[in-house]
Structure 1
């Protein structure tokens, strides 16, 4: 258990550090997808800190923490949605090369985190699933941002950035739903183990 706690603390630190890099670049170049991804680094920090605190808890408390983590995963989706609406009114293309380089760096950070969290996915219950899914989804998002940057360089349009922002919303919502379902199953199992009635 101590090794798992050290892993999630390391992952939280990596995510928190890269948030500042990506957030600054996203603001400077006006990218919806990069901004959503930077906020996602904060979400990952919160989820992993929650796991760090909850790993020693009883199953019922862990399940409740898993539901909190599912709600946290929705935060970057909401931010991306708001930015997509704002950007749609003036779809200026973001500066491509800073976007691609920053997304590439984010992909490396998230891949390292996903590899660190593979073992946690099997032993951490809904919280482990939350952390692994967040890291895995982030790698996919970073690859998509790089691809979108190349499309933007070709089209000189801000719409690919907006469309990707909407896709980030859908991906995070799907991850949140999966974590919520696993946490619900854990809650039911904890109640059954305690001999409580299951509604």
Structure 2
């Protein structure tokens, strides 16, 4: 029970951090016209949603948590879809975003996500697929933020919008991978729930 309370408190704080930076990063992304930063801002909203659902779902049955885990795997795909749409829109006019503001904002995102990873690492195994979803999302976000900073350096020297589009598409791949892992974890929990209930498993 103590571990469950620790997990609930942790994910609530992580949800607050993610929602706050979602607003900040989203405003910057729209202002400078960055595909990768926009995808990353939506990703912060996805993390907010995942951690909020975890706080609500704790204490539910194993079967119910498995269902919510599968729902979360779909939520994780939202940033991927957003990045893909923005990349397609920018294909015809690949203008370069402001590299300085882009790198500063991505640097702030690394700080927020690192704090979230450290918080979630203490209890990542306490909530099954739910806590795994939160941990994987935060972990992958750090890699995406680092890629955005590197892309900002490239953009500074090339003044091309293509690096921004490419990184946006890479964020799409990262989120697909995380969604797949969460789906598999939730499926495993679902099978465990059926086994505990005495159901036949093919």
TM, length-normalised to structure 2: 0.97
**What do the CA deviations read for 1:98-148 (whole angstroms, capped 9, x no partner)?**
000000001100000010001221211001110000000111111110000
In 1, Cα distance between equivalents of 2:66 and 2:126: 13
Distance 1:197 1:166 in 2: 42
| Residue 51 of structure 2 is aligned to residue 56 of structure 1 | no
Aligned 8 A contact 1:129 1:179 in 2 = yes
Q: After TM superposition, what 4+ stretches of structure 1 lie above 6 angstroms from structure 2? A: none
Aligned to 1:195: 198
Candidates 47, 53, 66, aligned match of 2:50: 47
Match of residue 99, structure 1, among 93, 98, 102 = 102
Which residue, out of 29, 36, 39, partners 1:36?
39
Structure 1 distance, partners of 2:91, 2:200, is: 50
SS of residue matched to 1:92 = coil
SS in 2 for 1:120: coil
Tell me the alpha carbon deviations over residues 135-179 of structure 1, each in whole angstroms, 9 at most, x when there is no partner.
001111111100000011111100000000110000000000000
Where does the alignment leave 5 or more consecutive residues of structure 2 unmatched?
none
The match for 1:12 is 15
RMSD: 0.7
Displacement of 1:14 after TM fit?
0.3
**Contact 1:37/1:76 (CA < 8 Å) preserved in 2?**
yes
Mapping for residues 119-138 of structure 1, pairs under 5 Å: 119-138=122-141
Aligned to 2:60, what secondary structure does the other structure show? coil
Deviations 1:10-42 (A, max 9, x none): 000000001110000000000000000000010
Gap runs ≥5 in structure 1: none
Deviation at 1:198, TM superposition (A): 1.9
Equivalent residue pairs, number? 199
TM-score, normalised relative to structure 1: 0.99
Written as runs of structure 1 = structure 2, the 5 A alignment for 1:17-28 is 17-28=20-31
